Structure 1
Amino acid sequence: MSRARSAPQQHESDGALPRSFWALLGAGVGLGTASAVAASSSALAAYFARRIVTPERVRVEDQEVFAVQGTGAGRRIILKATPETVVDGEYSFFFDAGAGHARLGPIEDYVPGEGTVTRPVVAEYSGDLERAVRGRWSGVVYSSPQDLGYDFEDVLVETELGPAPAWLVPASHDTSKTWAVMVHGRGATRQESLRGLIPARQLGLTSLVVSYRNDGDAPATADRRYGLGMTEWRDVESAIGYALENGATDVVLFGWSMGGAISLAAADLSSLRQYIRALVLDAPVVDWVDVLAHQAQKNRIPRGVGRLGQLLLAHPWGRRITGLAAPVDFRAMDWVARAVELRTPTLILHSVDDEFVPFGPSALLAGRNPEMVTLETFRKARHTKEWNVDPERWERAVVSWLAEILAPRPSPGSGTPRRSAGSESRN
């Protein structure tokens, strides 16, 4: 069966500022007065700062669907070709305001002249894909641990704000007392972390896939704002405590994007940091100032305006504008500058073409602390889609590195050097 779609409408991209705001800024500049320009610049800086720390409850569905064809195993979806949909691998397509979720397979046909991409429909977890006109592209693949064939239990982790839901996925064989704690990124949910269950299971680790404040599942803070890692780590600390209370002797933190910043903060600030055996970070934020500068440039925001937005986030007097209960300490989260202070073995998996969190700071961190940091470099994966582009390599890198880190420690004086050199993707 095939159903043609109506002509696509233009929508703002997920990271772009709305046209109405650029009209406001242009009006101020057009007036030609210093006060009007200053007012427009200040308003833009305020908007930029608020957007960074405000969770998006409604995700933009800007990926167009042209047709859904066939039935059963032969079902296909024809999408508009975009920088994301033309990258090979398995992905998810969310539609109907997030109520619908389909898993899509590798590219079957790409016609640049027509601007279309055809992919197989591997699974339809919820909703009616036949009725979808547009949706949201995502590196998330699975909807729950059950989609991977894993037994799991819905549990609650008690945090200082109240109970936060988590998935507890027991090891297939009880070979390790180390648990994996999976921490998703900004604007994502626990589903993002499910890819990490595959290597964790291979290593015999029990996994706890957690939620944290303001992510839509866990309790919200009074200000309902992201702390960019400086507040969320407390919920990860609670998850570590849960693991220790239920049989773990130590943990490995897996973090995606902002989940990387959260994991680094937990390893730095938590009273339970001595139980964090290692960090596995996918496209992590290791320097928020660099990320914000990149986002300002990407959104065509003048450099001075972007810096003012950072200032609003970092100083107490900016709280009335940003809505934050407390300012963000960017220096404390600058792990490039603090590289030598990172004493937890860390694996970073990052694509050089990451369009949201630049690759450069990850490379600098690895270069400045090769004793502790191993960098696995990917290509063509964009943001947090390293697994999607090359799942076998991603899983192999994690398993081999963690197996070495988690191996029984040598006796005093024997000294086994750590592997610190990453490899280059051949994608």
Structure 2
Amino acid sequence: MVESRRAATTPYAVIVRTALAVISASLGAVLALWGAIAVRMARRVVTPAARVPDCRILELDTSSQTITLTRTPDTELAGRYGLFTAGTEGYLKLGSVLSETSVAVKRKLLTHVGPQSRIVRDAAFSGWYYQRPEELHLPFTPELVGSALGPCPAWLFPAGDGDVWVIQVHGRGAARAECLRAVPVFHALGITSLVVSYRNDGEAPRSRSGRYMLGATEWRDVDAALGFARRRGAKRVIVMGWSMGGAISLQLALNSAHRDLIVGLILDSPVVDWRIVLDYQARLVKLPAPVTRLAITILGADWATALTGAGAAIPFRRLDVLARSAELHHPILILHSDDDGFVPSDASHDLVVARPDIVELDVFSVARHTKLWNYDQERWTSRITRWLTERGFVTETATEDR
């Protein structure tokens, strides 16, 4: 009787065990895949990014000096921009939108392109606009700022009596040229501009790992620039950061030995909390939330530095300026678009709520990431000018002279 019962239940037990084995194997495969994706995501976050095409040139009309691009949320924006290309032209300046369809945008060319030019179709849309300091037609000198890793190239644009300086810090995957469009604004107000580079950005020295630390170490190179400014006679310094440069600027304000020299921060599309940014970007590409959490865990773990290639764990808590908002003491002006598309403005809004006594936020819409100057140069310029004037960083006379 017992033997027959065993015989009856054995096939069922085999089916159950087989099903469990299949489920376990499938779950293991999913977890392994998620782990691999998380590691890949973590590595991409800290690896200096190469510029990748994000649009295509559909038509280049050299007779009318117009260019037609595939329509994207960036290429359809009003204003002046740049376009990284390949072929006989490496960079083109673009003017206003002339016409548009559901799939294409025609813009005015502000860089003359001859009929013999040959340009590759794939291109990268840019908010830089200016690519070289000579294009500003302002006096400047190339400088080297000594840092712990070696000399970091910088551009110095003297203005006024030299007492008030602005140090500009570019963003992730960018270079000093990103900051050039702001230099004329400060120059007109009599403020000297120092446009700096920092480790692993392709211009400054490379760290041992060659990876970004998302502001946790890069601020030290900008701190060296503060010391440079002090030695050159600066009495008051405004720090301006773009995107990841905003995260670096905030770490500088929290940690610098030269904090007494800083009188304010101007942040364009800044990273205030990296975890919010990484979560947002992961959702854009529809990554499961557990993958994002695992990637952030990997980035923040000492044991995983061999996987990411980073020299150390990313200290996300130390980089979370929202959590450290009580430690901020300098007045801050944030300019951010609610339609940023890369660094969400949520943390910028939250920082105003946390510190309304020192933080002001000018909210744009449609302007996208670090393209606020391009989209509405007049508003961008007047807001910065008003903020600087209200705090006595420039005189009313200097403002009127503009």
- TM-score normalised to structure 2 length: 0.89
Please give the alpha-carbon distance, in whole angstroms, between the structure 1 residues aligned to 2:39 and 2:122.
Answer: 31
Instruction: Tell me if the contact between 1:61 and 1:97 (Cα under 8 Å) persists in the aligned partners.
Output: no
Q: Deviations over 1:366-398 (max 9, x none)?
A: 111111101001010111111111000001000
CA distance in 2, matches of 1:154, 1:400: 30
1:106-142 superposed Cα distances (whole Å, 9 cap, x missing partner)? 1011122xx221111112599x864231210111100
Q: Distance in 2 between matches of 1:229 and 1:189?
A: 15
Q: Which of 63, 73, 77 is matched with 1:83 structurally?
A: 73
8 A contact 2:87–2:118 mirrored in 1: no
| Map of 2:328 onto structure 1 | 342
C-alpha distance in 2, partners of 1:125/1:200? 31
Aligned counterpart, 1:414: none
SS of the residue 2:111 aligns to: strand
Corresponding letter in the other structure for 2:107: R
SS of the residue aligned with 2:330?
Answer: coil
CA deviations on 1:73-132 (whole Å, 9 max, x unpaired) are: x411111111211111111000118970111001011122xx221111112599x86423
Change in 2 beyond 3 A, CA 1:240/1:124: farther
Aligned to 1:151: 139
What code does the residue aligned with 2:29 have? A
Q: Is the 8 A contact 2:140 2:155 kept in 1?
A: yes
Q: Is the 8 A contact 2:199 2:221 kept in 1?
A: yes
Contact 1:101 1:125 in 2 (8 A): no
Contact 1:102/1:129 (CA < 8 Å) preserved in 2? no
- In the other structure, the counterpart of 2:15 is none
| Preserved contact between residue 56 and residue 121 of structure 2 (Cα < 8 Å) | yes
**Matches of 2:209 and 2:89 in 1, distance apart?**
27
Distance in 2 separating the partners of 1:277 and 1:348 = 15
Letter aligned with residue 70 of structure 1: T
Q: Which residue of 2 aligns with 1:64?
A: 56
Distance change (3 Å), C-alpha of 1:193 and 1:131: same
Q: Is this contact kept in 2: 1:183–1:211, CA < 8 A?
A: yes
**What residue identity is the alignment partner of 1:41?**
W
The answer to whether the 8 A contact 2:175-2:201 is kept is: yes
Q: CA RMSD in A?
A: 2.1
Q: 2:95 aligns with which of 85, 101, 105?
A: 105
Alignment of 1:410-421 (within 5 A): none
Runs of at least 5 residues in structure 2 that lack an aligned partner in the other structure: 1-21, 396-402
| CA–CA distance in structure 1, aligned partners of residues 188 and 353 of structure 2 | 29
Tell me the CA shift for residue 340 of structure 1.
2.3
Identical pairs, percent: 43
Residue 283 of structure 1 and its aligned partner are, at CA, apart by 0.5
Equivalent of residue 402 in structure 1, options 388, 391, 394 = 388
Contact 1:189 1:211 (8 Å CA) reproduced = yes
Residue of structure 2 equivalent to 1:188: 174
Stretches of structure 1 that go unaligned for 5 or more consecutive residues are 1-28, 410-427
1:50 correspondence with 2:38: no
Q: How many residues get paired?
A: 373
Cα pair 1:50 1:321 within 8 Å, conserved: yes
Q: What SS class does the counterpart of residue 142 from structure 1 fall into? A: coil
Helix, strand or coil at the partner of 2:110: strand
Question: Where do residues 118-157 of structure 1 align in structure 2 (5 Å cutoff)?
Answer: 118-123=106-111, 130-157=118-145
1:257-309 deviation digits (Å, cap 9, x = unpaired): 00000000001011111111110000100011101111111121110110010
CA distance in 1, matches of 2:308, 2:379: 41
SS at 1:131's partner residue? coil
- Which structure has the greater CA radius of gyration? 2
Which residue in the other structure is 1:257 paired with?
243
Task: Give the distance between the partners of 1:407 and 1:104, measured in 2 at CA.
Answer: 33
* Whole-angstrom CA distance in 2 between matches of 1:373 and 1:212: 26
**Matched residues in 1 for 2:113 and 2:253: separation?**
36
Q: TM-score, normalised by structure 1?
A: 0.84
Alignment correspondent of 1:6: none
**Which structure is higher in helix share?**
2
Q: Does the CA contact (< 8 Å) of 1:261 and 1:284 recur in 2?
A: yes
State the partner residue of 2:303: 317
Residue 376, structure 1, aligned to residue 359, structure 2: no
Q: What is the CA–CA distance in structure 1 between the aligned matches of 2:123 and 2:38, rounded to whole Å?
A: 29
